[in-house]
Structure 1
Amino acid sequence: MYHIEKNTVQETLIIPLYGRKVCSEHFPDLFKDPEAERICGMLDYDFAEKGKKMESAAGLFGALEVAQRQYDLAWEVKDYLKKNPDAAVVNLGCGLDDTFRRCDNGKCRGYNIDMSDVIAVRNELLPENDRERNLAFDLNDETWMDEIDCSNGAVLFASGVFYYFKTEDVKALFQKMAKRFPGAVLVFDSCNRRGAKMMTKTWLKEAGISDVGAFFSLEDKDEIRNWSGDFADVSAKSYMRGYRDIYKDVSLFHRLMIKFCDGFVKMQIIKITFK
């Protein structure tokens, strides 16, 4: 059993993981996640408190969001690999996410990047294999880009990551990636300022972020279109309905929440194609 300490970075890693497990149990026809179930079973951690919160209607919607986001990003990775089967699959701020393994076609290469304390946990629970590397880097330190073999293309993705970054840092990172990875695709989730403010009351608060104004949010995809002359295209899809519409498969409360996410807080999956 792997011990998870309360009120540490380790605990923040297992929240989305546990969300995927809960979703797998409550919506098995929509999401089946044996890996999340396997890893949660390896952990020495009292899930009772988190479980109680996640079993509520609102908590279950949070679990649905986490699972749907992974589905969306995996869809984009698989789509890119259809034309670029030997590409690099780069998980930015990977945590304990196993998207590369879900999308692995037997030819591509996986790179999971996160802070050293996170990678230490990952190495215990999701160790590297022949074509997959766990890399300990701060994403703002561009030297991580030297580790990526993009000679056969690259698809880069980030799940719930950029909310923690200042807008100027996101802009600088995107510009550098566009220069370093021509022909690559970057995919990530975003919400508007209103959504980011709501997050400050929950998990951004736990990360010590109170002044949301400086941090990354997006009202419209066109805000970032002119960030770099190396962007060939910027597109957006609904987070909850854009890749697989689950609207008819969930309860009335969850349908209302989906409408809220689409209309009020503009939860989207953004895709940038580099020239």
Structure 2
Amino acid sequence: MLHEAHLGLDPVQETLLLTLHARALDSRAPEPILGDALSAEFADRIDYDFARLKLKPSLVASTALRARKLDDMVRRFVTAHPDAVVLDLGCGLDTRVVRCAPPSGVDWYDVDLPVVADLRRELLGERSHVVGADVTQPGWLRDVPGDRPAMIVAEGLLPFLPGASFRTMARALTEHLPTGELALNGYTRFAAWAMKYHPTIKALGIDAAEGFDDPREPERWDAGLTLVEEQLLTRAPEVAAFPQPVRALTRLMSHSAALSRQGARVLHYRF
């Protein structure tokens, strides 16, 4: 059992427990969307008052759905490129490498801050290359192969990187890697602003950074990115498995693209 006092996480790093708990709750639902039983195992091994995170059913469902959509993108990429490099940025305790089960020729890099990387190794062992680094600082890509197609996943990372640091990171990645794809859950400016007033985020004392509204904005970051698709998750067929009244509210939002973007969306780029 890992005790909270020994985790050594600051409020931003503590958000990994939020998403871990959401995936665990989804796995225990009658109709799970992601079905990540391993996350439930890890949550049971951590002595933490998860109730204080005040997760609502809507957040559990949307967290599971965005993870499922990002997993789908990763699986498609590594099937097409069985010698690829995968970078899961800000991975926390996500078990994506287990869920996606990449071919043996894929080099998978799970990247997060050093204290999170140590916790990850303790729980998951060496299922991937675990990199303890601050992605806003130069040099961390030094040991990542730069001659193979790459799939980059950044789930939940955007609103926690200050200022233009996400753009700077994207440029560094596409300069180092020859070709590939970037997938992230895209927060609008309003959604990023509203996060700081969400009960869960308020409980952790976090100020979220900025998002962006136009899904084509990253094409103007000088990072060689081209938008492939914007998935509005309110319109995903998996919404049928959402609990009521979340399902009805989500379907109501789905009629408006503007409202849907304030909820959950997954953005997919090629470089």
Of residues 71-80 and 102-111 in structure 1, the stretch that sits farther from structure 2 once superposed is 102-111
1:30 equivalent to 2:33? Answer yes
Map of 1:4 onto structure 2: 4
- For residues 110-149 of structure 1, the aligned pairs below 5 Å read 110-129=108-127, 132-149=128-145
Q: State the match for 2:87 in structure 1.
A: 90
Residue matched to 1:272: 269
Contact 1:164 1:204 in 2 (8 A): no
CA distance in 2, matches of 1:171, 1:16: 24
Aligned residues of 2:218 and 2:225 also touching (Cα < 8 A): no
Counterpart position of 2:238: 246
Please give the alpha-carbon distance, in whole angstroms, between the structure 2 residues aligned to 1:101 and 1:166: 30
Call closer, same or farther: CA 1:88–1:194 in 2, change over 3 Å: same
Among residues 163, 170, 187, which one is paired with 2:166 in the alignment? 170
Deviates more, 1:262-271 or 1:5-14: 5-14
What are structure 1's unaligned runs of at least 5 residues?
none
Query: Residue 247 of structure 1 aligns to which amino acid in structure 2?
Result: V
* 8 Å contact kept, 2:32–2:241: no
Do 2:148 and 2:179's aligned partners in 1 also have CA atoms closer than 8 Å? no
Contact 1:113–1:135 at 8 Å: present in 2 too?
Answer: yes
Instruction: Write the distance in 2 (CA, Å) between the matches of 1:74 and 1:92.
Output: 14
Shift of 1:166: 2.8
Q: Please give the TM-score of this superposition, normalised by the length of structure 2.
A: 0.86
Out of 87, 98, 101, the residue aligned to residue 98 of structure 2 is: 101
Shift of residue 98 of structure 1? 1.2
Cα distance change, pair 221–149 in 1 and its aligned pair in 2 (3 A): same
Shift of 1:116: 1.0
Distance in 2 (alpha carbons) for counterparts of 1:48 and 1:29: 20
CA 1:178–1:101: 2 relative to 1, 3 Å: same
Distance 2:189 2:234 in 1: 18
**What amino acid does structure 1 have at the position aligned with 2:248?**
R
1:248 partner amino acid: A
Question: Secondary structure in 1 aligned to 2:88?
Answer: strand
Q: 2: distance between equivalents of 1:258 and 1:238?
A: 11
CA drift at 1:62: 0.6
Which residue does the alignment assign to 1:255?
248
Residues 135 and 217 (structure 1), Cα distance of their counterparts in 2 relative to 1, 3 Å cut: same
Residue ranges of structure 2 left out of the alignment (5+ in a row): none
| TM-score normalised to structure 1 length | 0.85
DSSP 3-state at the match of 2:220? coil
Q: Is the 8 A contact 2:232 2:265 kept in 1?
A: yes
1:63 is aligned to 2:57: no
- Once the 2 structures are TM-superposed, how far is the Cα of residue 79 of structure 1 from its aligned partner? 0.9
Report the RMSD for the aligned CA atoms in angstroms: 2.4
Aligned residues, how many?
Answer: 260
Which residue identity lines up with residue 239 of structure 2 in the other structure?
Answer: Y
Deviation, 1:187, is 0.7
* Structure 1 position 81, deviation (Å): 0.9
Please give the per-residue CA displacement for 1:95-116, whole angstroms capped at 9, x wherever unaligned.
Answer: 0011122112232111011111
